[in-house]
Chain A
Amino acid sequence: MSSGQSQAPLPYTDERHQAAAQFLTEEAHLLDTSDFEAWLGLMDRRIRYRMPVRVTAVKAADEVDVQTMHHFDEDWYSLRKRVQRFQTDYAWTEDPQSRIRHHVSNVRTFEGSDDELIVESAVLLYRSRGDRTAPSLLSAGRTDVLIPTEEGLRLRQRDIEIDESVLRTQNLAIFL
């Protein structure tokens, strides 16, 4: 997954790169302001949203993540359930809400097939809960497939490479 694209990224001046970078910034804004319904609206109905478990392996081993176990392996149905849960009055883990900020950087955009864009980015999620526990940080790389639609770009696939084997956060009641 971390092998990256073999082709060169689009120049920063390319409108497709600018559109992709703006998409990621706007998406982060929706997540940071808990507008999950609008966030879900950015997903293509065929969305695959995955975050495999990473392991500590010897350098010579091929295995750096466990493809048979994920922290997230979501489709439209399960992402929608997660969003619906936040909208109930009983999602205690986010009531009171965390203060969160998605810091998105290192955006590289590549031409995919059929007008798709392949977009790599880094994301650092800062999450602060209550006033007694230390804030948590999650760092990840993401490889997205964005597709153009009449309503704008939509997320078709996201593969998240989390930079920890043992997560230091109480749960993943968040999206990356």
Chain B
Amino acid sequence: MADAEPNGIADITGAVRQGLIPAFLYNDAQVHELERTRLFGRSWNFLAHESEIAQPDDYVVRNIGDDSFLVTRDSDGQIHVMFNMCVHRGMQVCRAERGSARTFRCPYHAWTYKNDGQLAGLPFHADAYGGEAGFIKEGQALLRAPSVAIRNGMIFASLDPDAPDFETWLGDYAFYLDFYTGQSEAGMEFRGPQRWRVEANWKIGAENFMGDSYHTPHTHASVVDIELFGEPKPYKRKEGVLWHAGPGGGTTYKLPPGSDFGSGLAYVGYPDEMIDRMAATLSPAQRALVDEPGFMPSASTLFPNLSFVHNWPQTDAEGRITPFISVRLWQPVGPGETEVYSWFCVAADAPEDYKAASYKAYLMCFGSSGMFEQDDVENWVSITTMARGSMARNLLLNNRMGLTLDGEPIVDQFEGFGGPGTAYQGFGEHNQRHWFSMWADLVSQPAPARQPMAFGMGEQPA
């Protein structure tokens, strides 16, 4: 299946590269299968943040597609990402989603693994297998995630043993990632996640956070109306710059004229202590993004399905403005279903008062009960429902905003934007097209070849 060229894939990728999205891509079993095997079989996928497993022996269980992984910090503090399947008969070794454990014992036959994955206990090894003569226990371990990388405490894994080097792949996106997860030398603290399932295709959230500044004034009109967040007014939103760099992209808001790094961060509610921390961790070039002409990162997506959001609502009746950061994963469950993982993220050494206000800002705006997110999901469920039928196969959705019919940008690239990559001011679907070009690259390549490993039979392949 994975290697056969599926019917129509060349037509699909051809269309999306022209900025035309076959509407059925948002709810189609064959497309889902291609994404499962080809896209998520190769991509770098976010699993967890180190702060979620802060102490030795802490663990969380996370998924990449259908695959369950144990993400542990072993007793020596080392981080491991292991396939959560007992190598004996295939039981899920750890069935809790978080906790602290030095060992994991499979409930089926009591095979026991240390939290670094090493097989430590095999009942009746001598009686049942004849010891090492029948099953070589020495050196056996849970299957490791083929590739693992950590950046800003964020743990990523790829199912592809030949995945591109993470930092090389991340490229210029790293510049922007630091605004969300590099705010302090003490690192970030991830809280949560909230998890909930929505009857929406996973791509919609990823694309939306990547660059859809156009939806904000209308979809989120209610939060402006109640004076929770004043920025998403149409005239303000179109002053923002949309950028894409490396495997990601995002949206920004333009800061008031005359802003510099400090006053720009103060405008969105960062207290002096936080501004000092960010001044220390961000490079001069990164600080220049916030300096005149002044842009503040808002939503962003790192391909394929990891998104960030940074907004600054009013968090009390006295008018305090407080920024927050949320990190979220759009985990596909099926062609028309997504599990959302949504974390709150804050500098680990931020003042407690700031942490509390920022947490409040997050809960009011995003996550399962967030007043922004409520209306987003309503739209995405509707798109997914509509995409299921026959007529959606006759419709190519227009993803060409910002281009003439001849394919020329309607405005020149924005000069003087402080960050790397490609930047346009105003509304446009440049970033969504960039996302879909990466999508097309992966779904048109065969999935990586798998090399099955036999356990207990001798040396494992490196």
Contact = CB atoms under 8 A, between A and B. Distances in A.
Contact of B377 (A56, A74, A93): A93
Contacts of B377: 93, 170-171
Interface string A113-157: 000000000000000000011000000000000000000000000
A92 B219 contact: yes
A106 interface: no
B97 A56 contact: yes
Given A56-B97, A58-B99, A166-B197, A71 B378 contact: no
Nearest to B388: A132
A140 to B, nearest CB: 13
A72 interface: yes
Interface stretch (B38-46, B71-79, B187-195, B263-271): B187-195
B87 interface: no
A84 B227 CA distance: 10
A7 to B, nearest CB: 32
A132 B385 CA distance: 8
Given A85-B223, A88-B226, A69 B191 contact: yes
A78 B363 contact: yes
A171 B368 contact: yes
Interface in B363-383: 363-364, 367-371, 373-375, 377-379, 381
Interface stretch (A8-16, A24-32, A33-41, A60-68): A60-68
B221 interface: yes
Interface string A39-53: 000000000000001
B374 A168 contact: no
Contacts of B317: 76-77
Contacts of A1: none
A167 to B, nearest CB: 4
Interface string A161-176: 0000111111111000
Interface in B336-372: 339, 344, 359-360, 363-364, 367-371
A57 B359 contact: no
Contact of B228 (A58, A81, A91): A81
Interface residues of A, number: 39
SS class, residues of chain B in contact with chain A: mixed
B375 A93 contact: yes
A71 B194 contact: yes
Contacts of B101: 58
Contact of B375 (A82, A92, A172): A92
A170 B198 contact: yes
A173 B374 contact: yes
Nearest to A95: B378
Task: Kindly name the residue among A76, A169, A171, A173 whose own CB sees the greatest number of chain B CB atoms within 10 A.
Answer: A171
Contacts of A63: 98-99
Given A69-B194, A74-B363, 15 more contacts: A58-B101, A69-B344, A73-B360, A85-B222, A85-B371, A88-B222, A93-B377, A165-B97, A166-B339, A167-B197, A169-B196, A170-B378, A171-B196, A171-B370, A173-B374
22 contacts: A53-B193, A57-B96, A68-B191, A69-B194, A71-B194, A77-B317, A78-B363, A81-B364, A85-B222, A88-B221, A90-B218, A90-B222, A90-B375, A91-B374, A133-B381, A166-B195, A166-B197, A170-B377, A170-B381, A171-B373, A172-B368, A173-B369
